[in-house]
Structure 1
Amino acid sequence: MTVSISLSHEEIRAILRGADAIIAQGGRTLLAKILKGSREKKVLELKLDKSPVYGYFRSEKLDNIMLKIDWMIDHDFLEIEYFGKLPMIVYTERGWLIESDQYTDEFISEWEEWISQKKENPDMTYLKDRNRQMILLMLQKIKESGNKDFIPYLKLWKEIDYKKVKTEIQNTIEALEASEPVDEAAIWERQGRIHEALKGAAPEDFLLKCYECGDRFLFTVGEQQFYKQKGFDLPKRCGDCRELNLEHSYW
């Protein structure tokens, strides 16, 4: 059954941010508890109360938060993958596009705070081994900022990271030092992709081809949700062929 709710862009971003700490390590219930602000032992032991969106839906019932998470799955922001028998939350391509964008903004905001505090020699190892796509996006945004005050932190970061990342960091330093012009069109294009991604993809019925009889058959939204929750692959047979195959198994 399709969840008859709609989430704001802010709520979508919050749920994606909450999922970050448990991607491929926790499921829907654990994510709901982060967003609820649960004081459950497991949440505290895993330090999930440190999430920036911990307690974001504090005033709502856990069941309602679960409905929001299911909406996120239905609309292609999150999905369930099974690791053994355990159903874990992972990002879809759409979800990661949005999350990486807002996560890099968090990093840059933290650097801006360091600048205002005149913080020197921060430990930059927290950026090592991060998702490469996200790191490149962060460097691109730093370059676009034109803020030369970032250069000391870039130099510290360059000292501890891998060769390929060091090259990109150096390119960013040189761009800031040279006051290279900002590619406004690229910024607008990126923002446009995020805006489109936040619209989600509403679930809808679609047709599959039966690999036995070759006929097309309808794969409904309800069936899609059931298959996702169980971690099943898409059905390969139509209903008639499945029934026939089941009958033959009893002969």
Structure 2
Amino acid sequence: MSRNQKRFPYSLDSGKIRKLSDEELRMILRAADEIIATGGRSMLTKILKGSKDKKILEYQLDKSPAYGAFSELSAEEVSNRVDWAIEHDYLAIEYSKKLPLIVFTPAGWEIEKETYTNELFENFREIMCEISDLERRKAFIEILKTRNRQVILLLLDKIAENGSESFIPLLEEWKIVEVKKVSGKIGGVINRIRGKNEQEQE
């Protein structure tokens, strides 16, 4: 291996951290979702700490729901928590050329899928309360079109289970612009909501 190809080394240090709360772990994984396979431990720490670092602002990572979640802690304490999540197989490090980047493990992704699904569901409900805001509806639908397919299918299951008929107008707007498989799923959710409400009215 040539000198130019030498990987940047890293070492984990969870300090005195013995266990993270469920909320702490969810926040770490939610922040990590913004930089999967593109950023490393240092950037993840900065997001959680609420850093004003130039790259954080340039890439709009300050928009993450987890930004500043650990703002009351020192950078070292935040880093210790990130490393704990790696040591306990919720996150992992994979190299891209020379750089060690954060990726999800299966265990971490299972937690993040649920967290992000719940977040999108709450966003969906908020949009329905402001249904007259055309620009916000369009922007939200564009976001949904770019999200992980597993998360979107879980979101639709949650909408089908908990959604009311008030969800249908936004679902129909979303259905028109989606790919065939997701569009078909949305259509099934609309029918399920309508059928559920018809049964309740009988």
Output the TM-score relative to the length of structure 1: 0.69
Q: What aligned pairs does 1:12-161 form with structure 2 within 5 A after superposition?
A: 12-121=25-134, 122-123=137-138, 124-161=141-178
Cα displacement (A) at 1:116: 2.2
Q: What aligned pairs does 1:91-240 form with structure 2 within 5 A after superposition?
A: 91-121=104-134, 122-123=137-138, 124-179=141-196
Identity %: 47
Output the TM-score relative to the length of structure 2: 0.85
Partner residue, 1:238: none
Q: Could you list the per-position Cα deviations for residues 80-107 of structure 1 after superposition, in whole angstroms to 9, with x for gaps in the alignment? A: 1111111110111111111111111111
Is contact 1:28–1:66 with CA below 8 Å preserved after alignment? yes
Q: What aligned pairs does 1:5-16 form with structure 2 within 5 A after superposition?
A: 5=17, 6-16=19-29
Distance 1:175 1:85 in 2: 50
Is contact 2:160–2:189 with CA below 8 Å preserved after alignment? yes
Cα displacement (A) at 1:55: 1.0
Q: Look up the SS of the partner of 1:88 in the other structure.
A: strand
Q: Could you list the per-position Cα deviations for residues 133-187 of structure 1 after superposition, in whole angstroms to 9, with x for gaps in the alignment? A: 111100000001041111111111111110011111111111001008xxxxxxx
Letter in 2 for 1:162: V
Letter in 2 for 1:72: A
Is contact 1:37–1:58 with CA below 8 Å preserved after alignment? yes
Distance 1:76 1:150 in 2: 37
Is contact 2:91–2:102 with CA below 8 Å preserved after alignment? yes
Is contact 2:47–2:62 with CA below 8 Å preserved after alignment? yes
Letter in 2 for 1:103: Y
Alignment length, in residue pairs?
181
Distance 2:84 2:98 in 1: 23
Q: Look up the SS of the partner of 2:196 in the other structure.
A: coil
Letter in 2 for 1:48: L
Q: Look up the SS of the partner of 1:125 in the other structure.
A: helix
Q: Look up the SS of the partner of 2:72 in the other structure.
A: coil
Please give the root-mean-square deviation of Cα atoms over the aligned residues, in Å: 1.7
Distance 1:175 1:161 in 2: 19
- The structure with the largest helix share of the pair is 2
Is contact 1:77–1:94 with CA below 8 Å preserved after alignment? yes
Cα displacement (A) at 1:120: 5.0
Q: Could you list the per-position Cα deviations for residues 48-78 of structure 1 after superposition, in whole angstroms to 9, with x for gaps in the alignment? A: 1111111111121111111101100111111
Distance 2:178 2:20 in 1: 38
Distance 2:13 2:133 in 1: 52
Q: Could you list the per-position Cα deviations for residues 177-228 of structure 1 after superposition, in whole angstroms to 9, with x for gaps in the alignment? A: 1008xxxxxxxxxxxxxxxxxxxxxxxxxxxxxxxxxxxxxxxxxxxxxxxx
Structure label with greater radius of gyration: 1
Structure 1 residues 119 and 12, CA, compared in 2 at 3 Å: closer, same or farther? farther
Letter in 1 for 2:71: R
Distance 2:30 2:13 in 1: 24
Question: After TM superposition, what 4+ stretches of structure 1 lie above 4 angstroms from structure 2?
Answer: none
Q: Look up the SS of the partner of 2:20 in the other structure.
A: coil
Is contact 1:146–1:179 with CA below 8 Å preserved after alignment? no
Distance 1:172 1:28 in 2: 39
